[in-house]
Structure 1
């Protein structure tokens, strides 16, 4: 049986990946867990524990080979794969995601956008045509689409998600402010922007209260 990795560890992996990429760009190829802890914000012990979940990559007295560790974490995150991706909802957020070139560099190939509003259909974002949501299910099946990004209003998000699942989508990145109710065969990552903003508001309020 495969080892169960906690979500807390999994959610730290992208941060390791980001900092290791930065180190490589600065031509730093060797680093100790103590040095890594100073730049990433986790304790050296936490770093060693996290990486030991995947076999561990450091050497006593040497530390970590940055290039090797970056490559291995990329594989653990599945970034060696290519994922055909669509965006549902071509409003401001959907367009912003389509315009971000970093996704394609990481293997997330955005193939098309879908929209219910007739005034958007037929327009292009970069070289991506905005298609009618009515043809979405057929498009998914014909183009081996694995991931869908939902950028619709909350009122339509669940219905869209149901159609995505029916069409065979494997993963959903949900930006709609609603928790989707789906079966366990589909992986869902919810990104509630207002919740993150409200957390910031709380922390600012606490800071102001402490200084009064």
Structure 2
């Protein structure tokens, strides 16, 4: 497929053609009236907007079941990140390879950050450790957090702009349960 219209995009995404055009126009003019969008160029421009080629240096802390699954099954590089370090406080896990990265002891975190300058951290740690560790990481130069700790991380620093994505898997499950419970309510 060489080109696609806003109508075709809208049908695939469950939106209106007008929404597609307005949203894409916020980032510049990628399309041409009467022609549509060049698929290759549109793909490249959306990738640029999302930063999928940024290669943000990322570390993962906590290699329990969730941390290990994230390291092994998330394709970080396709999402603008490069997993450069994995850390855990359990010394029995240290030295093992996960997704091609060696698990290091948490005690080496500061030296690793000083040498490698990660900008993003994935937190798969206990709730009780999240606040203090996140503040330590900010001091070490980390500016973005993907937080699975069950602690609502809110980092406010006067000069740094810190980005936090708190992920609550249980809430997502409850959203599905709610949807099933109320499925069809609008039709009754």
**TM-score normalized with structure 2 length:** 0.90
The equivalent of 2:181 in structure 1 is 205
Residues 1:147 and 1:207: Cα distance change in structure 2 (over 3 Å): same
Residues 1:68 and 1:210: Cα distance change in structure 2 (over 3 Å): closer
Deviation by residue 1:54-110 (Cα, 9 ceiling, x = unmatched)? 123111111111111111111111223211111011111111121136212444111
3-state SS of the aligned residue for 2:139?
A: helix
The equivalent of 1:194 in structure 2 is 170
Does the Cα contact within 8 Å between 2:53 and 2:78 map onto a contact in 1? no
Deviation at 1:209, TM superposition (A): 6.5
Aligned pair 1:36/2:12, yes or no?
no
Task: Name the CA distance, whole Å, in 2 between partners of 1:74 and 1:105.
Answer: 10
Does the Cα contact within 8 Å between 2:51 and 2:80 map onto a contact in 1? no
Task: Name the CA distance, whole Å, in 2 between partners of 1:127 and 1:82.
Answer: 16
1:165-204 correspondence to structure 2 within 5 Å: 165-184=138-157, 185=160, 186-204=162-180
The equivalent of 1:155 in structure 2 is 128
Does the Cα contact within 8 Å between 1:140 and 1:167 map onto a contact in 2? yes
Task: Name the CA distance, whole Å, in 2 between partners of 1:210 and 1:188.
Answer: 35
Does the Cα contact within 8 Å between 1:48 and 1:56 map onto a contact in 2? no
Where structure 2 has 5 or more consecutive residues not aligned to the other structure, the ranges are none
Task: Name the CA distance, whole Å, in 2 between partners of 1:202 and 1:127.
Answer: 39
CA RMSD of aligned residues (A): 1.9
Bigger mean CA deviation after superposition, 67-76 or 110-119: 110-119
Residues 1:165 and 1:56: Cα distance change in structure 2 (over 3 Å): same
Deviation at 1:211, TM superposition (A): 8.9
Task: Name the CA distance, whole Å, in 2 between partners of 1:61 and 1:208.
Answer: 39
Structure with the larger helix share: 1
Does the Cα contact within 8 Å between 1:138 and 1:167 map onto a contact in 2? no
**TM-score normalized with structure 1 length:** 0.80
Aligned pair 1:69/2:45, yes or no?
no
